[in-house]
């Protein structure tokens, strides 16, 4: 039986990152942006306290070795569907600390920071 897919709401990201940073010896969470390059150019999200890695969903299997299975990963896409699939894939590959950013960058733009362009 696989673990349930974890999701985090955009409104909870800042507090999640702060709580994670407060843990002794913890590395910053990885913000894994699985959108295409043109999407990243259109609307970019850089969260203080995270490390950004752009890795389009289609490249994930070939680049899996770039991800530490012990790393906390926050997966992000446009609306949260591709990133949810990536979270499921990463869990099947042994990654225990992966979270889908529910609603994606579109939710961030509409619920947290309207300066991030919508597309």
Number of H helices, E strands in the chain: 4, 5
In a domain, 56, yes or no: yes
Sequence-ordered list of residues with C-beta below 8 angstroms from that of 41, at least 6 positions apart, any chain: none
- pLDDT for 95-110, tens place per residue? 999 999 999 999 999 9
In a domain, 118, yes or no: no
User: Distance from first CA to last CA of the chain, Å, rounded?
Assistant: 37
In a domain, 119, yes or no: no
Catalytic site positions:
77
CATH code at 23? 3.40.250.10
- pLDDT for 50-68, tens place per residue? 999 999 999 999 999 999 9
What total of structural domains would you count in the chain? 1
What pTM, to 2 d.p., does this model score? 0.94
Q: Which domain holds residue 17?
A: 6-111
């Amino acid at each position: 039986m696989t673990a349930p897919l974890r999701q985090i709401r955009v409104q909870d990201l800042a507090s999640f990152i702060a709580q994670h940073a407060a843990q002794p010896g913890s590395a910053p969470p990885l913000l894994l942006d699985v959108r295409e390059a043109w999407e990243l150019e259109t609307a970019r999200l850089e969260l203080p306290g995270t490390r950004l890695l752009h890795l389009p969903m289609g490249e994930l299997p070939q680049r899996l070795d770039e991800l530490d299975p012990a790393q906390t990963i926050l997966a992000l896409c446009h609306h949260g569907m591709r990133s949810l699939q990536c979270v499921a894939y990463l869990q099947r590959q042994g990654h225990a600390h992966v979270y889908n950013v529910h609603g994606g960058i579109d939710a961030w733009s509409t619920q947290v920071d309207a300066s991030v362009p919508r597309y």
